[in-house]
Amino acid sequence: MFNIILFGPPGSGKGTQSEKLIFKYELKHLSTGDLLRSEIASQTELGLEAKKFMNKGELVPDEVVIGMISSALENNPHSKGFLFDGFPRTEAQAAALDQLLKFKQTEIGVVLALQVCEEELIKRLLNRGLTSGRPDDNNGEVVKARIIEYHKKTSAVADYYRRFDKVVEVPGEGTVDEIFESLCAEIAKRKP
Ligand code: AP5
């Protein structure tokens, strides 16, 4: 089993590249953003609570997302590996993920960290906001709040995995195919 974390700030291309990577490597895609939006669409209690944080560009509490990932891992016992997208986003989430994977006798193989400048992130998110209907994309203040939240709480997750020599920085600007090739080249160096 080979597990990947696709890491990076909001708008760095995690979702876009995840779609291509899960197809090539036959991985199960676990995106906490997608799971939360699906809870919101179904108007569950969890979704209604999460929406309050997401619409302000703030992180949803750790216990909520850790619970969702724990259930997703349990529900996919025969997966060849997982691609985590948008998770973990705090050190507490990273430590919880390590424990959950240990129970499954596996671990994170590599953390691929997409590097994109702030100006490009804002441009991409506001541009998507014109058509996506995502309330956290169509408001400049919320987009900025998401980036601030990333620097305050999430960038430390890369430091957490650097301690275990698992982080590889990959340029996230250029065409989608160019970035995909760089990601695959890094996976090839680490995947057994
Ligand atoms: P989430 O859904 O995870 O969103 P995000 O990380 O803020 O980022 P995005 O999905 O918007 O960007 P992305 O990096 O996936 O880029 P994408 O490929 O989409 O989280 C949303 C919210 O949920 C959070 O704010 C938080 O409230 C909550 N949440 C989620 N997970 C959580 C957790 N673990 N803990 C707590 N709270 C959590 O691309 C973006 C745009 O750029 C697209 O339009 C795309 O077409 C375009 N694009 C992609 N690649 C390129 C390229 N190479 N060139 C030009 N444009 C490109």
pLDDT per position as a tens digit, 76-96: 999 999 999 999 999 999 999
pLDDT single digits (tens) 175-192: 999 999 999 999 999 998
Cα separations in angstroms, 63 against 54, 97, 149, 154: 15, 12, 17, 16
Confidence bin at 16 (pLDDT 50/70/90): very high
User: Residue written as tokens 């876009």?
Assistant: 16
* Cα–Cα dist 145/12, whole Å: 15
Q: Side by side, which strands form the sheet with 108-115?
A: 28-31, 82-85, 3-7, 108-115, 167-171
The stretch 22-49 carries a mean pLDDT of 96
DSSP state at residue 166: -
As a whole number, the mean pLDDT across the chain is 96
pLDDT of residue 165: 96
The stretch 11-16 carries a mean pLDDT of 98
**Confidence check: pLDDT of 58 > 90:** yes
* Cα–Cα dist 45/147, whole Å: 27
The stretch 51-76 carries a mean pLDDT of 96
- Mutate which of 5, 6, 7, 14 for ligand 1? The one with the most ligand atoms within 8 Å of its CB, which is 14
Confidence bin at 133 (pLDDT 50/70/90): confident
| C-alpha 12 – ligand 1 centre gap (Å) | 7
**Confidence check: pLDDT of 41 > 90:** yes
Quickly name the fold that domain 3-27+79-190 has: Rossmann fold (3.40.50)
pLDDT of residue 63: 96
| C-alpha 86 – ligand 1 centre gap (Å) | 7
**Confidence check: pLDDT of 134 > 90:** no
Residue spans of the domains in the chain: they are 3-27+79-190
To 10 degrees, the CA torsion angle through 126, 115, 39, 4? 160
